[in-house]
Chain A
Amino acid sequence: MTPSEPFLSSVLQDEHSEPPSAGRNHEEQGEQDQGRRTVVEMIGVCRTFPGTPEVHAVRDINLTISEGEYLSIVGPSGSGKSTLLHLLGLLDRPSVGTYLLDGVDVSELSDAKRSELRGERIGFVFQAFHLLQHRSVLENVELSMLYRRIPRRERTKRARDTLDRVGLKHRVEFSPQTLSGGERQRVAIARALAAEPSLLLADEPTGNLDSGNADAVLDVFDKLHGEGLTLAVITHDDDVSTRADRRVRIADGTLTDEVAS
């Protein structure tokens, strides 16, 4: 894999120039680009938090993610990664800019509509897993389909199938408290996948894991990528980011494309 340091200076670009993969018009070009659809398109997105002084968590983000792409966003702590992920996942609204998800401008939608889109299109994997301690592994996975019009039986079936996919078939009735960190994160991945999202967003998914467990989780991502899932993984860890087929750097809220070798 490519070490990132030597590339830093060479890939820094003037933010007003047109980078090769960001800011394209995907309405037409997406068709030509190996027939790939555009899942995410952010144009000039900023997010500021009120305060004295005002915090510019992310600035002027132009980002495109195509269907089936495995993107990593890498940057140091406090650089705005989580803010960007929240914006991508409709958990937060941009202060300025346009965000098209599956071609739909979502910035102006109502809260209920955004919740619906979020449940339908986006799967989340968090550093802290966010499993419900008092519910079984199966129930935790079913939860991602609870707010959708999916019959109960179907929810259970899909949850079981998905747990099978992440190699946790034998842990279905366990309590999350009895699982290792890596297993917990795979439960969280299964939960995100069961809802069949068009985009999987992961925020420091290996941040709480030792290297062995981290590798197991990253292997699952590789496998999902191989199956055609669109992935965006946020990390401060270069080793994690090198697994992706495209890397973007974020520093001080500003995004820069990095050309993979």
Chain B
Amino acid sequence: MRRAPLRRRLALRDLLGEALAGVAARPSRLALTTLGTVVGIAALVATMGLGQTASGQISGRFDATSAVRVVVEAGEREGTDGGVKITELPWDAADRVSRLAGVAAAGTFAQVAVEGAQVRGVPVSDPGGAVEHDVPVAAGSPGLFDAVNAVLSDGRFFDAGHDGRGDPVVVLGRYAAERLGVNRVDSQPSIFIGDRPFTVIGIIDSASHRSELLDAVVLPMGTADSLYGLDAPGALEIRTELGAAQLIGSQAALAVAPNDPELLNVDVPPAPGSLRDEVSTDVNVLFLALGGLALLVGGLGIANITLLSVMERISEIGLRRAVGATRRHIANQFVVESIVIGFLGGLIGAAAGVLATVGVSMARGWTPLLDPGLAAVAPFLGALIGLVAGTYPAWRASTIEPIAALRGG
């Protein structure tokens, strides 16, 4: 006979076809239903995207040069007797740390008090019109330039010979050179600090740290000591091998001042990994919580409106039961409809979230960073929310008695 038995489950194509038709029947309703999920998923994607982007920017600032910089400075501590103990950096601090494995370059730095002497480009002491400058004077050991990645535009740095002999030579920072009217060193120009002449042997164009060097006249440590009675270096700049900063940071104080290592301040860059993790965890926890809340609201929205839709479509349910649909068929249809709604919401939300991430990044001048997996997973997260949200309304739909559903309608 031509009797075709019942299907326990519809073919996927039929099920999806019915669900899509059911969903598409009320487009404005659909927009309303997906709204919560769209907002939730968009918030989630955007916040995670912005979180990733932001932590990308933060970790981007810890570039190769910052990650290898260790600075040691003299410090003071309250002693056990209540007095204050002060430690000075030794003159040979740079040599001491240079022995540590992992140190690429090290040099000391100090500001020099020149007792009111003005720095001038020419030896004129014309009381009327001579141009006097407030150019700061600094001192460095020969290794300082390498330690801060200083680059010369002309000439050379001083060396251990100049330093040891206390030669009257200087290296000028580029801004100091401009103000003093020095642009070349091949003619061995002189500058004056007070009445003392110094030969300019080099001009620094740039440095990755200690940018104050660019404004200053830099003397060798030995010269500053013999001419101006400098007490001790103010700071020790260390450039380490890549990845050695943490290690050197823990060893430097002991190497420099074996007797009172705890009196020195050692400035070490944060471990890049831990920093990025901290920032992104902080940011993401907040953002995920917000997105999760939006999704909860979205899920409730789907549940609510699907339930409303079930009540509106009671006569359709009755008809489907009359043409042979089982309770399970009815439940499946409503669950799949709400999965489709969730999926659509997730799809639109993911797109909106990606757009928001890109938009905010562009406005902030950031490089947008977004895990593509996140955007791909989002619609399925939406579908999952649809599944969960649709379960109760679908169950309700399946319990509606056909005679109740067909009466009157």
Chain A, 158-216, CB within 8 A of any chain B CB:
191, 195-196
Contact of B403 among A86, A111, A119 (CB under 8 A): A86
Q: Are A115 and B324 neighbours in the complex by a CB distance under 8 Å?
A: yes
A84-98 toward B: CB 8 Å interface, digit per residue (1/0)? Answer: 001001011000000
Task: Pick the residue among B13, B329, B403 that contacts A91 (CB under 8 A).
Answer: B403
Looking at B32-40, B232-240, B314-322, the stretch in contact with chain A turns out to be B314-322
Interface size class of chain B, counting residues whose CB lies under 8 Å from the partner chain:
35 or more
Task: Say if the beta carbon of B2 comes within 8 Å of chain A.
Answer: yes
> How far does the alpha carbon of A86 sit from the alpha carbon of B322 in the complex, in Å?
10
CB of A148 within 8 Å of the partner chain: yes
CB distance from B23 to the nearest CB of A (A): 10
CB distance from A192 to the nearest CB of B (A): 8
Cα A152 to Cα B325 in complex, Å, equals: 17
B322 to chain A, nearest CB (A): 5
Question: Does chain A have a CB within 8 A of B362?
Answer: no
A interface footprint on B10-27 (CB within 8 Å = 1, 0 otherwise): 110110001001001110
Q: Return chain A residues, CB-CB under 8 Å to B24.
A: 134
Q: Is B79 an interface residue (CB 8 A)?
A: no
B99 on the A face (CB < 8 A): no
Check: A126 CB closer than 8 A to any chain B CB. yes
Q: Are B5 and A130 in contact (CB under 8 A)?
A: no
Whether A118 touches B324, Cβ cut-off 8 Å, given contacts A130-B315, A146-B10, A147-B7, is yes
| Chain B residues with a Cβ under 8 A of chain A | 2-7, 10-11, 13-14, 18, 21, 24-26, 315-316, 318-329, 401-403, 406-409
Q: Is A144 an interface residue (CB 8 A)?
A: yes
Which residues of B lie under 8 Å from residue A146 when comparing CB positions?
A: 10, 14, 18, 323, 325
Task: Judge whether A132 is part of the interface by a CB distance below 8 angstroms.
Answer: yes
Give bound CA distance, A82 to B402, whole Å: 13
Query: Across the interface, do A130 and B3 meet the contact criterion of CB distance under 8 Å?
Result: no
B320/A143 in contact, CB under 8 A: yes
Most A C-beta atoms less than 10 A away, residue of B11, B26, B316: B316
In the complex, the chain A residue whose C-beta lies closest to that of B315 is A130
Q: In the bound complex, do residue A111 and residue B6 qualify as a contact, i.e. CB atoms below 8 Å apart?
A: no
Q: How far is the CA of A91 from the CA of B321 in the complex (A)?
A: 8
Q: A115-B324, A118-B324 are in contact. Are A149 and B6 (CB under 8 A)?
A: yes
Given contacts A116-B324, A147-B325, A148-B7, contact A134 B14 (CB under 8 A): no
